[in-house]
Chains A and B, each alone.
Chain A
Amino acid sequence: MKIFINGKAYDAFPGEMVLQVALRNEIFIPHLCYHPRTGPAAKCRACVVEVENLPGLQTSCNLPARDGMQVTTNSEAVLQAQRVVIDLALSSGKHDCLACEQNGNCELQNAAYFLGIERPSYEFALEEKVPDASSEFVYVDRAKCISCGRCVSGCNNNVVNEVINFGNRGFHTKIIFDNDKLLGESSCVQCGECVQLCPVGAIIDKRAIGQGRSWEMEKVETVCAYCGVGCRLELHINRKENRIIRITGVEDSPTNEGMLCVKGRYGFDFIASPERLTTPLIRENGKFREASWDEAISLIASRFRSIIEEHGSNAIAGLSSAKVTNEENFLFQKFMRREVGTNNVDHCARLCHSSTVAGLAASLGSGAMTNDIAGIKNADVIMIIGSDTSAAHPVIAARIKQAVREGRTKLIVIDPKKIVMANYADIYAAHLPGSDVALLNCLMHVILKNGWEDSKYIEERLEGYEELRKEVLQDKYKPENVEKISGVPATTLHRIAEMFAKAETASIFYAMGITQHTTGRDNVWSVANLQMICGNLGKIGGGVNPLRGQSNVQGACDMGCLPNVYPGYQSVQDEKIREKFEKAWGRKLSSETGLTVIEMVDGAYEGKVKALYVMGENPFLSDPDQHHVISALEKIDFLVVQDMFLTETAEFADVVLPATSFVEKEGNFTNTERRVQKLNIALTPPGAAKADWEIIQMLANSMAAGWQYRTVSDICDEINQLTPQYAGITWERIGRNGLQWPCPTETHPGTPYLHKDRFARGLGLLRGIPFIEAAELPDEEYPLILTTGRVLQHFHTGTMTRKTPGLNNLAGPMVMMSVEDAEAMGIGNSEPVKIATRRGEIEAPAFVTRRIKKGVIYIPFHYKESPANRLTNPVVDPVAKIPEYKVCAAKIRKIS
Chain B
Amino acid sequence: MNFYRLQVLIGIDPSSLQAGAREIENTFQLEIARHKLQDEVNLLETGSLGYFGTGVAIMIYPGQITYVNLKKEDVPEIVTEHFLKGKPVKRLMLGQAFTSGYNFNYRRRIVLENSGLINPENIREYLGRGGYESWEKALLEMKPVQIVDIVKNSGLRGRGGAGFPTGLKWSFTQPLTVPQKYFVINADEGEPGTFKDRLIMEGDPHKLLEGLMISSYAVGATKAYIYIRGEYRLCINRLQKAIDQARELGLLGSNIFGTGFDLDIEIKIGAGAYVCGEETALIESMEGNRGQPRSKPPFPGVKGAWQKPTVVNNVETIANIPSIISHGADWFRSYGTESCPGTKVFTILGDVYMPGLCEVDMGTSLRTLIEEYGGGIRDDKKFKGALLGGAAGVFLSEKLLDVKMDFNSLKEYGAVLGSGAILVMNEDADMVDMLYAVIRFFRHESCGKCIPCSKGTQKLYRIISRIRYGEGSEEDLVSMIRLAQAMNISSFCALGQSLLMPIRSVIDNFRDEFLQKMDKKYKFSREAS
In the complex, the answer to whether B489 meets A147 with C-beta atoms within 8 Å is: no
Produce 1/0 per residue, A35-55, CB < 8 A to B: 000001011111010000000
A284 within 8 A of partner (CB): no
**Could you say which residues of chain A place their CB within 8 Å of the CB of B445?**
169-170
B238 within 8 A of partner (CB): no
**Residue in B273, B290, B443 whose CB lies within 8 Å of A171:** B443
Alpha-carbon distance between A166 and B445 when the two chains are bound, in angstroms: 16
Interface segment, one of A80-88, A301-309, A576-584: A80-88
Alpha-carbon distance between A46 and B491 when the two chains are bound, in angstroms: 10
In the complex, the answer to whether B444 meets A170 with C-beta atoms within 8 Å is: yes
Please, which residue of chain B has its CB at the minimum distance from the CB of A149?
Answer: B449
**Could you say which residues of chain B place their CB within 8 Å of the CB of A170?**
443-448, 454, 457-458
**Could you say which residues of chain A place their CB within 8 Å of the CB of B290?**
165-166
A285 within 8 A of partner (CB): no
Produce 1/0 per residue, B426-449, CB < 8 A to A: 000000000000000001111111
In the complex, the answer to whether A62 meets B295 with C-beta atoms within 8 Å is: yes
B451 within 8 A of partner (CB): yes
30 A-B pairs with C-beta separation under 8 A: A40-B295, A42-B295, A43-B451, A45-B451, A45-B490, A45-B491, A46-B451, A59-B490, A84-B452, A84-B456, A84-B487, A84-B490, A85-B452, A85-B486, A88-B451, A88-B459, A89-B451, A91-B455, A92-B458, A146-B451, A166-B448, A168-B448, A169-B273, A170-B445, A170-B446, A170-B454, A170-B458, A171-B448, A173-B448, A173-B454
Produce 1/0 per residue, A681-710, CB < 8 A to B: 000000000000000000000000000000
B87 within 8 A of partner (CB): no
In the complex, the answer to whether A147 meets B483 with C-beta atoms within 8 Å is: no
Taking A85-B451, A89-B455 as known contacts, 16 extra A-B pairs with beta carbons closer than 8 A to each other, sorted by chain A number, are A43-B492, A45-B452, A84-B456, A84-B487, A85-B452, A85-B490, A88-B452, A91-B459, A122-B459, A166-B448, A168-B448, A169-B447, A169-B448, A170-B448, A171-B454, A173-B448
**Could you say which residues of chain B place their CB within 8 Å of the CB of A56?**
489
Alpha-carbon distance between A165 and B295 when the two chains are bound, in angstroms: 19
A99 within 8 A of partner (CB): no
Alpha-carbon distance between A147 and B273 when the two chains are bound, in angstroms: 19
Alpha-carbon distance between A89 and B459 when the two chains are bound, in angstroms: 11
A38 to chain B, nearest CB (A): 14
- Number of B interface residues at 8 Å Cβ cutoff, please give it: 27
Residues of B within 8 A of A (CB): 273, 290, 295, 443-452, 454-459, 462, 483, 486-487, 489-492
Alpha-carbon distance between A173 and B273 when the two chains are bound, in angstroms: 14
Alpha-carbon distance between A170 and B274 when the two chains are bound, in angstroms: 12
B276 to chain A, nearest CB (A): 11
**Residue in B456, B487, B489, B492 whose CB lies within 8 Å of A42:** B492
Alpha-carbon distance between A465 and B253 when the two chains are bound, in angstroms: 51
**Could you say which residues of chain B place their CB within 8 Å of the CB of A92?**
455, 458
**Could you say which residues of chain A place their CB within 8 Å of the CB of B492?**
42-43, 45
**Could you say which residues of chain B place their CB within 8 Å of the CB of A88?**
451-452, 455-456, 459
A195 to chain B, nearest CB (A): 22
Alpha-carbon distance between A125 and B452 when the two chains are bound, in angstroms: 15
A681 to chain B, nearest CB (A): 43
**Residue in B295, B451, B489 whose CB lies within 8 Å of A57:** B489
**Could you say which residues of chain A place their CB within 8 Å of the CB of B443?**
170-171
Please, which residue of chain B has its CB at the minimum distance from the CB of A90?
Answer: B455
**Could you say which residues of chain B place their CB within 8 Å of the CB of A146?**
451
In the complex, the answer to whether B450 meets A43 with C-beta atoms within 8 Å is: yes
B302 to chain A, nearest CB (A): 15
A201 to chain B, nearest CB (A): 17
Residues of A within 8 A of B (CB): 32, 40, 42-46, 48, 56-57, 59, 62, 80-81, 84-85, 88-89, 91-92, 122-123, 125, 146-147, 165-166, 168-173
Alpha-carbon distance between A703 and B452 when the two chains are bound, in angstroms: 74
In the complex, the answer to whether A171 meets B295 with C-beta atoms within 8 Å is: no
Alpha-carbon distance between A365 and B238 when the two chains are bound, in angstroms: 70
**Could you say which residues of chain A place their CB within 8 Å of the CB of B451?**
32, 43-46, 85, 88-89, 146-147
**Could you say which residues of chain A place their CB within 8 Å of the CB of B459?**
88, 91, 122-123, 125
In the complex, the answer to whether B483 meets A84 with C-beta atoms within 8 Å is: yes
Alpha-carbon distance between A45 and B192 when the two chains are bound, in angstroms: 28
In the complex, the answer to whether A171 meets B452 with C-beta atoms within 8 Å is: no
In the complex, the answer to whether B486 meets A81 with C-beta atoms within 8 Å is: yes
**Could you say which residues of chain A place their CB within 8 Å of the CB of B448?**
147, 166, 168-173
**Could you say which residues of chain B place their CB within 8 Å of the CB of A48?**
489-490
A34 to chain B, nearest CB (A): 12
A94 to chain B, nearest CB (A): 14
**Could you say which residues of chain A place their CB within 8 Å of the CB of B487?**
84
**Could you say which residues of chain A place their CB within 8 Å of the CB of B455?**
88-89, 91-92, 171
In the complex, the answer to whether A171 meets B446 with C-beta atoms within 8 Å is: yes
Please, which residue of chain B has its CB at the minimum distance from the CB of A168?
Answer: B448
**Could you say which residues of chain B place their CB within 8 Å of the CB of A165?**
290
Please, which residue of chain B has its CB at the minimum distance from the CB of A174?
Answer: B448
In the complex, the answer to whether A81 meets B446 with C-beta atoms within 8 Å is: no
**Could you say which residues of chain A place their CB within 8 Å of the CB of B486?**
80-81, 84-85
Alpha-carbon distance between A80 and B447 when the two chains are bound, in angstroms: 24
Q: Pick the 5 closest A-B CB pairs, nearest first.
A: A173-B448, A84-B486, A170-B446, A88-B455, A171-B458
B458 to chain A, nearest CB (A): 4
Alpha-carbon distance between A125 and B455 when the two chains are bound, in angstroms: 10
Alpha-carbon distance between A551 and B297 when the two chains are bound, in angstroms: 45
**Could you say which residues of chain B place their CB within 8 Å of the CB of A172?**
448
Alpha-carbon distance between A443 and B492 when the two chains are bound, in angstroms: 52
Please, which residue of chain A has its CB at the minimum distance from the CB of B488?
Answer: A56
Alpha-carbon distance between A44 and B456 when the two chains are bound, in angstroms: 12
A29 to chain B, nearest CB (A): 13
**Could you say which residues of chain B place their CB within 8 Å of the CB of A89?**
451, 455
Alpha-carbon distance between A40 and B459 when the two chains are bound, in angstroms: 26
Alpha-carbon distance between A89 and B453 when the two chains are bound, in angstroms: 11
**Could you say which residues of chain B place their CB within 8 Å of the CB of A57?**
489-490
Alpha-carbon distance between A32 and B451 when the two chains are bound, in angstroms: 10
**Could you say which residues of chain A place their CB within 8 Å of the CB of B447?**
169-170
Alpha-carbon distance between A88 and B490 when the two chains are bound, in angstroms: 12
A55 to chain B, nearest CB (A): 10
Please, which residue of chain B has its CB at the minimum distance from the CB of A45?
Answer: B490
**Could you say which residues of chain A place their CB within 8 Å of the CB of B295?**
40, 42, 62
Alpha-carbon distance between A125 and B443 when the two chains are bound, in angstroms: 14
Alpha-carbon distance between A46 and B486 when the two chains are bound, in angstroms: 11
**Could you say which residues of chain B place their CB within 8 Å of the CB of A122?**
459
B278 to chain A, nearest CB (A): 14
**Could you say which residues of chain A place their CB within 8 Å of the CB of B490?**
45, 48, 57, 59, 81, 84-85
**Could you say which residues of chain B place their CB within 8 Å of the CB of A166?**
290, 448
Please, which residue of chain A has its CB at the minimum distance from the CB of B462?
Answer: A123
Alpha-carbon distance between A445 and B396 when the two chains are bound, in angstroms: 79
B479 to chain A, nearest CB (A): 8
A609 to chain B, nearest CB (A): 64
**Residue in A40, A44, A80, A169 whose CB lies within 8 Å of B450:** A44
Please, which residue of chain B has its CB at the minimum distance from the CB of A165?
Answer: B290
Alpha-carbon distance between A92 and B489 when the two chains are bound, in angstroms: 20
B510 to chain A, nearest CB (A): 25
**Could you say which residues of chain B place their CB within 8 Å of the CB of A62?**
295
Give the most central of A48, A59, A84, A123: most B CB within 10 Å. Answer: A84
**Could you say which residues of chain B place their CB within 8 Å of the CB of A44?**
450-451
Alpha-carbon distance between A172 and B462 when the two chains are bound, in angstroms: 15
**Could you say which residues of chain A place their CB within 8 Å of the CB of B452?**
45, 84-85, 88
**Could you say which residues of chain B place their CB within 8 Å of the CB of A80?**
486
B272 to chain A, nearest CB (A): 11
**Could you say which residues of chain B place their CB within 8 Å of the CB of A42?**
295, 450, 492
**Could you say which residues of chain B place their CB within 8 Å of the CB of A43?**
449-451, 492
**Could you say which residues of chain B place their CB within 8 Å of the CB of A171?**
443, 446, 448, 454-455, 457-458
Please, which residue of chain A has its CB at the minimum distance from the CB of B449?
Answer: A43
A891 to chain B, nearest CB (A): 48
Please, which residue of chain A has its CB at the minimum distance from the CB of B496?
Answer: A45
**Could you say which residues of chain A place their CB within 8 Å of the CB of B483?**
84
Please, which residue of chain B has its CB at the minimum distance from the CB of A57?
Answer: B489
